[in-house]
């Protein structure tokens, strides 16, 4: 695991059963994924490698996508905080196979920003061997930054029944940025479905492993204000 992994996440993995050994990795010359592949290739070892495993997007196409679209119907945009690209690939494959007009938007991090469960483009290109470029062109990607991801997730706790983690905030930020981009370009009407713009945000993490990060990343005046925040200004 990356050396900067949140302590709450390390603890959660450590209690999953006997024999679980958490190894933290910090080496600018080798990513944690590259180390897992190297050690997994050694005799007696094996790596599942979700970054190069067709079952990753297949699982999302087969299980997540039918549940999502049976609940929402055809929507305008599905924004996905992306780490392995498996979720967005599976959703895009389902959309294409079923002739839906929904746009699937992978939301990556801008370079030198960190949000648990997501990656910048440079690390996606280095670590992920799944053929995501066949489904998404550069203009199909959106990008976000760390602080707004935590802040948007935090503010969502006031209105959503579940308290979601920072990857949800990243998806939220990416969706707002894309809607603003389309509006400025005069293309916003192209997103309308049945006369409305409906957006689904996909960020799979709970807040629980990241409480210490939320406390460190958000300021006291941001947490304790009861004014309605200007969400678009955070995203942009």
At 17 the pLDDT is 64
- Cα-Cα-Cα-Cα dihedral sign, residues 79, 84, 89, 90: negative
At 200 the pLDDT is 96
At 26 the pLDDT is 87
Q: At what angle do helices 65-72 and 86-97 cross, to 10 degrees?
A: 60
At 69 the pLDDT is 96
Encode pLDDT of 191-227 as tens digits.
998 889 999 999 878 898 898 899 889 888 788 776 7
Say how many C-beta atoms besides its own lie within 10 A of residue 35's C-beta.
Answer: 14
At 18 the pLDDT is 66
Residue segments in the chain with a per-residue pLDDT below the cut of 50: none
Partnered with residue 144 across adjacent β-strands are: 109
Say how many C-beta atoms besides its own lie within 10 A of residue 71's C-beta.
Answer: 8
- Cβ neighbors of 188 (< 8 A, separation 6 or more) are 179, 182, 197
């Amino acid at each position: 695991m990356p050396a900067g992994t949140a302590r709450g996440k390390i603890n959660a993995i450590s209690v999953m059963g006997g024999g679980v050994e958490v190894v933290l990795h910090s080496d600018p010359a080798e990513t944690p994924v590259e180390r897992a592949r190297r050690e997994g290739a050694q005799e007696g070892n094996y790596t599942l490698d979700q970054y190069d495993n067709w079952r990753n997007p297949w699982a999302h196409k087969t299980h997540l996508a039918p549940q999502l679209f049976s609940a929402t119907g055809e929507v305008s945009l599905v924004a996905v905080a992306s780490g392995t690209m498996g979720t967005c690939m599976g959703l895009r494959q389902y959309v294409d196979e079923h002739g839906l007009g929904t746009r699937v938007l992978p939301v990556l991090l801008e370079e030198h920003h960190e949000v648990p469960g997501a990656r910048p483009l440079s690390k996606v290109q280095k670590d992920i061997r799944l053929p995501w470029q066949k489904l998404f062109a550069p203009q199909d990607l959106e990008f976000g930054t760390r602080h707004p991801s935590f802040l948007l997730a935090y503010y969502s706790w006031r209105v959503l029944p579940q308290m979601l983690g920072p990857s949800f905030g990243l998806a939220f930020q990416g969706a707002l940025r894309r809607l603003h981009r389309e509006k400025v370009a005069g293309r916003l009407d192209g997103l309308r479905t049945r006369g409305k713009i409906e957006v689904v945000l996909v960020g799979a993490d709970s807040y629980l492993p990241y409480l210490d990060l939320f406390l460190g990343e958000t300021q006291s005046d941001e947490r304790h204000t009861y004014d309605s925040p200007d969400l678009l200004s955070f995203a942009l």
